[in-house]
Amino acid sequence: MRVISGSARGTKLIALPGEDVTRPTIDRVKEGMFSALQFSLPGSRVLDLFAGSGQLGIEALSRGAAKCTFVDRNRQAVSVVEKNCKAAGMMQNSRVLMSEADAFLNTTNEMYHIVLLDPPYRQGILQQLLPKVAAVTEPGGTVLCESEVAASLPDECDGLIKKKQYRYGTVLVTRYEKER
How far apart CA 48 and CA 58 sit, in angstroms, is: 9
Structure confidence at residue 29 (pLDDT): 86
- Cα separation of 138 and 180, whole Å? 8
Q: What is the pLDDT of residue 19?
A: 55
Q: Hey, where are the domains in the chain? A: 28-178
* Crossing angle between the packed helical segments 55-62 and 75-87, to the nearest 10 degrees: 20
| pLDDT at residue 137 in the model | 98
**Would you state the pLDDT for residue 36?**
85
Q: Return all residues near 68 (Cβ < 8 A) that are at least 6 apart.
A: 45, 46, 47, 48, 57, 58, 60, 61, 90, 93, 94, 95
Amino acid identity at 174: T
The per-residue pLDDT for 38 is: 86
Residue 70's closest CA among 79, 172, 171, 25?
79
Task: Walk along the chain (180 residues) in steps of 10 and give the mean pLDDT of each run.
Answer: 92 80 72 88 96 95 97 96 97 98 97 96 92 97 94 95 93 94
pLDDT of residue 58: 97
Taking domain 28-178, whether its CATH number is 3.40.50.1100 is answered by no
Q: What pLDDT shows up at residue 100?
A: 97
CB 84 within 8 A of CB 53: yes
